[in-house]
């Protein structure tokens, strides 16, 4: 079931967003605020997608960060603290399986593209710092697309940018909502289940479930 192009989600699928908690603590804010803030950013992005609208990830994240930090006594000036937190998406580490998995896909001649709800420059810095940006054919961001994922238009736009039909793409993500959205847009799908979770039954099941990107490369390489 090897696709023409593997289309990777970025935030959480490639990057380890659990490190955001440490960034909050570095500015004097409780680490537990990170998960709620990120979830709210996705929530508002999904609302924009549902209404056919779009807005940059950074703008949504910035506005919601003001709410997340309200009443918190910071150890840095507010503007400096916010900048530190917003830049974290470009500086947090990747999951340990990402680099070897991408290298295995590259060795097999697999076309690989990134599609992020975040900013294109943030994605480029994240992957460049990790030394894996050269393994991607393109780094795509929904800031240039009609809408955020999981809006169908984002995946179809990515297919156009890759020069293939939607069915020629396999979206690979840790998010069941991303898998579901890609399926509805006509893509093949792969779910990265690093933690042994149960896939939500209210979403369309993935075509492929893997435990890591290394596992993905091995599965796609089978005849």
Is beta strand 5-8 parallel, antiparallel or unpaired with respect to 188-192? unpaired
φ, ψ of residue 139 in degrees (nearest 5): -115, 105
Q: Indicate the average pLDDT of the chain.
A: 96
- The C-alpha atoms of residue 2 and residue 223 are separated, in whole angstroms, by 9
Residue at which a domain ends, from 47, 63, 90: 90
Question: Averaged over 51-62, what is the pLDDT?
Answer: 94
Query: What's residue 223's pLDDT?
Result: 67
pLDDT exceeds 90 at position 1: no
Asked whether residue 106 falls in the same domain as residue 172, the answer is yes
Asked whether the beta carbons of 141 and 118 are under 8 A apart, the reply is yes
pLDDT in tens, 126-172: 999 999 999 999 999 999 999 999 999 999 999 999 999 999 999 99
**pLDDT tens by residue, 81-105:** 999 999 999 999 999 999 999 999 9
Domain limit, last residue, from 61, 90, 119: 90
pLDDT at 197: 96
For residue 28, the enclosing domain spans: 17-90
Do 103 and 84 share a structural domain?
no
Among 27, 33, 56, smallest CA distance to 44 is for 56
Cβ pair 113, 163 in contact under 8 A:
no
Q: Are residues 209 and 113 in the same domain?
A: yes
Mark whether 157 and 73 lie in a shared domain: no
Given 71, 90, 109, the domain boundary residue is 90
Q: How confident is the model at residue 222 (pLDDT cuts 50, 70, 90)?
A: confident
Nearest to 127 by CA among 52, 15, 2: 15
For the chain, percent of residues with pLDDT exceeding 70: 100
Would you state the pLDDT for residue 95?
98
C-alpha distances in Å from residue 202, one per residue of 13, 68, 216: 21, 30, 24
Secondary structure (H, E, C), the chain: CCCCEEEECCCCCCECHHHHHHHHHHCCCCCCHHHHHHHHHHHHHHHHHHCCCCCCHHHHHHHHHHHHCCCCCCCCCHHHHHHHHHHHHHCCCECCCHHHHHHHHHHCCCEEEEEECCCHHHHHHHHHHCCCHHHCCEEEEHHHCCCCCCCHHHHHHHHHHHCCCHHHEEEEECCHHHHHHHHHCCCEEEEECCCCCCCCCCCCCCCEEECCHHHHHHHHCCC
CATH of the domain at 167: 3.40.50.1000
* Per-residue confidence (pLDDT) for residue 52, from 0 to 100: 87
Q: What is the pLDDT of residues 161-220, one digit of tens each?
A: 999 999 999 999 999 999 999 999 999 999 999 999 999 999 999 999 999 999 999 999
Q: What is the sign, positive or negative, of the torsion defined by CA atoms of 71, 21, 36, 7?
A: positive
Q: Of 43-47, 74-78, 161-165, give the lowest mean pLDDT range.
A: 74-78
Domain count for the chain: 2
């Amino acid at each position: 079931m090897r696709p023409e192009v593997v289309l990777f989600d970025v935030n959480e699928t490639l990057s380890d967003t659990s490190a955001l908690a440490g960034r909050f603590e570095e500015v004097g804010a409780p680490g537990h605020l990170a998960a709620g803030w990120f979830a709210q950013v996705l929530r508002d992005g999904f609302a924009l997608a549902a209404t056919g609208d779009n807005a940059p990830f950074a703008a949504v994240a910035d506005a919601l960060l003001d709410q997340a930090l309200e009443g918190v006594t910071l150890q840095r000036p507010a503007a400096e603290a916010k900048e530190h937190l917003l830049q974290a998406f470009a500086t947090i580490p990747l999951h340990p399986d990402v680099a070897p998995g991408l290298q295995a896909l590259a060795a097999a001649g697999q076309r690989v593209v990134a599609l992020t709800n975040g900013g294109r420059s943030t994605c480029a810095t994240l992957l460049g710092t990790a030394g894996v940006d050269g393994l991607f054919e393109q780094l795509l961001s929904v800031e240039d697309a009609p809408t955020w994922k999981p809006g169908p238009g984002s995946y179809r736009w990515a297919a156009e940018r890759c020069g293939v039909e939607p069915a020629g793409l396999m979206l690979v993500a840790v998010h069941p909502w991303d898998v579901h959205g890609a399926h509805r847009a006509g893509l093949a799908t792969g779910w990265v289940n690093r933690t042994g979770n149960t896939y939500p039954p209210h979403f369309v099941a993935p075509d492929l479930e893997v435990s890591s990107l290394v596992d993905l490369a091995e599965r796609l390489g089978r005849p």
